[in-house]
Structure 1
Amino acid sequence: MPSSELGSSGEAATGHRGRTKAEPSSSSLPATGLAVFGCGQDEAALFQEMGPRLGVAPTIIEAAVCETNAELAIGNRCVSVNHKTPITNPSLLALSAAGVQYISTRSIGYNHIDVEYAERVGISVGNVAYSPDSVADYTLMLMLMAVRHAKSTVRRTDAHDYRLNDTRGKELRDLTVGVIGTGRIGTAVIDRLRGFGCRVLTHDNRSHSHVSFDELIELSDIVTLHTPLTADTHHLLDRHRIERMKPGAYIVNTGRGPLLDTEALLAALESGRLGGAALDVLEGEEGIFYADCRNRHFENEALVRLQRLPNVLISPHSAYDTEHALKDIVENTLINCLNFESGRTA
């Protein structure tokens, strides 16, 4: 989930390996080593600032981990990776050969790593927690933009057409919102929704607003997805369930793209059955999101069709991306490493 959060001292070296190492801790104990793959400048600055303070010496590697650069981790039992690039099994095998025993992914989700294969080659995998407010705030923003037709309004005003939209917006207090997934992020979304005075439904027996999954789908004006991606939740909203949603309803997804059957969503949007969608994640986003594609052709036809629709908002897996969340991610990555080295984690 979704995705989250200075100075020139954090810039990586300009050598072909894109690698720099923090100063060791001033403690008399040797610093714990951590190889940080796929590390941007803002992240690097925080790792170099916070690492020595906690007794960790991070080796910053700008490139994402792959089979050919895994040797850069030699000398470190722990590595950190991001969620932006799938970690292939050959990469995991190469990391194991380099002596790596623990991977901390700088994300909540693990779906970019074959955890079972990692365990078979002797590597444990951990994730990080970060501010749920980052994704929760963004989710509410997307809901408001969707029900107030923000995309078409902004497009028209950019073209100096200042007429009112033919379709009036809706107020959240008049709507029923179904929240699928009530972990830290889903709960933070619910807290915000209550401030708007709307009716909230959950598919979770820990809440008094619990209903069956079918009831949630059928009764909600907005369905928002916050559940982890697993084999059981892949295409959780499939064609059958989308067809059972209220006419004119909206779907918001800041979880993972494959929670939603994109072709089924397109069919419902293009037929006019659904009111719209707001998507921060998308099936097939790999290699597109986080890249500059302005002068590049790509093969994701579903993305092109979605972007043509005036009632569909798309952002590039950026809901998590705040300064607060990035600090949480870096700090908890360092703590994961220390906990592994001290035997406090598997």
Structure 2
Amino acid sequence: MYKIAFFDSKEYDINSFNSNTTEEFELKFFETKLTVDTAILAQGYDVVCVFVNDAINKDVIDMLVAQGVKLLALRCAGYNNVDLEYANGKLPVVRVPAYSPYAVAEHAMALLLTSIRRIHKAYIRTKDFNFSLNELTGFDLHGKTVGVVGTGKIGRIFINICRGFGMNVLAYDKFPAKDSDIKYVTLDEIWEKSDIISLHCPLTDETYHVINEESVEKMKKGVVILNTSRGALIDSKVLLDGIKKRKIGAACLDVYEEESNVFFNNFSGHIIEDDVLARLISFPNVIVTSHQAFLTREALANIATTTLGNVKQFFTENKCDNEVVYKPNN
């Protein structure tokens, strides 16, 4: 039997894993995130399963290894929250490389449409029986230029959605998709020519704060920025300043660089101490969702089956097709 301890577990995690498990797995769900203080809970488990905001640093890795944990299973695609260099040779890491790229790409478009057509504002108005159309004027997507940064599975699906709206697509990727009809340009051209910019790239040393003061300065006045990837791709203070100066026309964010202590929790009765996030949310041209782009029935089922499959393959074959192998440039 494979004993797995889940951290940062929510109701939808518990339901999806319990619905897709078999008798060979013993699952234990902890609501708390994995930290140095909570790693002791992994005592007696073969596998620790974590999500995007669990911090797997050197101290946590040492504690897990000392307690006999043999595998770290990420139930997500990104692994920027894991110290892979330190884990190398000590604690194998596996992930879910693709659970539902459609879910994330569709959410990005949903955010964009909601923002530019003021759907969120219209919804609130009509709930109060206010049917005025004042200040609800949007703009057509047809004919607009969208710059897509990152053309992996999610990025390419988002490009197809944009083409369906009759948009002109420019793209940037360090490793362009082969044999595609995607028009690749430099990052500077993305900044300078795009009416809308959507981020679909992983967080690495190279992409950290890829949207910064210098890049915003090159952008069109009124540009709309979408981020459904990782929060730290955007310098949040620069984003805030760009919106205040009317340089950035709107922002649609499903991620935020300091989200780990906020997202996935209910703070409706509390004061948010993150002044930047609180100010962003207060702007009428900013939409924030709490890292929910992945949250569809299909994606949750794929996450569960792939994660459990990763665990089984690792222990039966002493390898896993979805293992994250450390490389110096990771």
The alpha carbon displacement at 1:71 in A equals 4.1
8 Å Cα contact 1:146/1:278 also seen in 2:
yes
SS of 2:146 mapped into structure 1:
strand
8 Å Cα contact 1:34/1:58 also seen in 2:
yes
Q: For residues 137 and 19 of structure 2, what CA distance do their matches in structure 1 show?
A: 50
8 Å Cα contact 1:132/1:188 also seen in 2:
yes
Q: For residues 36 and 247 of structure 2, what CA distance do their matches in structure 1 show?
A: 46
The alignment of Structure 1 onto Structure 2 pairs a total of residues equal to 314
SS of 2:248 mapped into structure 1:
coil
TM-score (normalizing by structure 1): 0.84
The alpha carbon displacement at 1:165 in A equals 3.2
8 Å Cα contact 1:153/1:165 also seen in 2:
no
Deviates more, 1:336-345 or 1:85-94: 85-94
The alpha carbon displacement at 1:202 in A equals 0.7
1:76-103 deviation digits (Å, cap 9, x = unpaired):
3322112233234322221111111221
8 Å Cα contact 2:34/2:55 also seen in 1:
no
Candidates 249, 257, 272, aligned match of 1:283: 257
Candidates 315, 318, 325, aligned match of 1:343: 318
The alpha carbon displacement at 1:322 in A equals 0.9
1:142-187 deviation digits (Å, cap 9, x = unpaired):
1111221334434444554432234621111121111111111111
Residues 80-119 of structure 1: matches in 2 within 5 Å? 80-119=49-88
Q: For residues 279 and 148 of structure 1, what CA distance do their matches in structure 2 show?
A: 16
The residue type equivalent to 1:311 in the other structure is N
**Structure 2 residue aligned with 1:133:** 102
**Structure 2 residue aligned with 1:36:** 6
The alpha carbon displacement at 1:70 in A equals 3.2
Change (3 A) 1:37 1:161: same
Q: Does 1:262 align with 2:236?
A: yes
8 Å Cα contact 1:177/1:222 also seen in 2:
yes
**Structure 1 residue aligned with 2:289:** 315
Q: Does 1:165 align with 2:134?
A: yes
Which consecutive residues of structure 2, in runs of 5 or more, have no partner in the other structure?
A: 324-330
The alpha carbon displacement at 1:227 in A equals 0.3
Q: For residues 35 and 50 of structure 2, what CA distance do their matches in structure 1 show?
A: 11
The alpha carbon displacement at 1:58 in A equals 2.7
Q: For residues 237 and 33 of structure 2, what CA distance do their matches in structure 1 show?
A: 30
8 Å Cα contact 2:39/2:64 also seen in 1:
yes
Q: For residues 107 and 43 of structure 1, what CA distance do their matches in structure 2 show?
A: 12
Q: For residues 139 and 41 of structure 1, what CA distance do their matches in structure 2 show?
A: 24
8 Å Cα contact 2:236/2:276 also seen in 1:
yes
Change (3 A) 1:65 1:158: same
SS of 2:261 mapped into structure 1:
coil
Q: For residues 169 and 161 of structure 2, what CA distance do their matches in structure 1 show?
A: 11
**Structure 2 residue aligned with 1:25:** none
Q: Does 1:50 align with 2:31?
A: no
Candidates 121, 124, 129, aligned match of 2:92: 124
Candidates 170, 185, 200, aligned match of 1:201: 170
The residue type equivalent to 1:329 in the other structure is I
SS of 2:110 mapped into structure 1:
helix
The residue type equivalent to 2:83 in the other structure is D
1:288-332 deviation digits (Å, cap 9, x = unpaired):
111111222232111111112111111111111111101111111
Q: For residues 274 and 59 of structure 1, what CA distance do their matches in structure 2 show?
A: 45
The residue type equivalent to 2:167 in the other structure is C
Residues 145-224 of structure 1: matches in 2 within 5 Å? 145-166=114-135, 168-204=137-173, 205-206=176-177, 207-208=180-181, 209-224=183-198
**Structure 2 residue aligned with 1:11:** none
8 Å Cα contact 1:179/1:201 also seen in 2:
yes
8 Å Cα contact 1:151/1:312 also seen in 2:
no
Q: Does 1:298 align with 2:272?
A: yes
**Structure 1 residue aligned with 2:36:** 67
Q: Quote the RMSD (CA, aligned, Å).
A: 2.0
**Structure 2 residue aligned with 1:21:** none
1:234-262 deviation digits (Å, cap 9, x = unpaired):
00011111111111110011011110111
Q: For residues 274 and 143 of structure 2, what CA distance do their matches in structure 1 show?
A: 36
Q: For residues 267 and 136 of structure 1, what CA distance do their matches in structure 2 show?
A: 27
* Identity within the alignment, %: 35
1:11-60 deviation digits (Å, cap 9, x = unpaired):
xxxxxxxxxxxxxxxxxxxx33333233333322333343216x433333
Which consecutive residues of structure 1, in runs of 5 or more, have no partner in the other structure?
A: 1-30
**Structure 2 residue aligned with 1:4:** none
Q: For residues 197 and 109 of structure 2, what CA distance do their matches in structure 1 show?
A: 12
8 Å Cα contact 2:56/2:82 also seen in 1:
yes
Q: For residues 167 and 70 of structure 1, what CA distance do their matches in structure 2 show?
A: 49
TM-score (normalizing by structure 2): 0.88
Q: For residues 41 and 68 of structure 1, what CA distance do their matches in structure 2 show?
A: 23
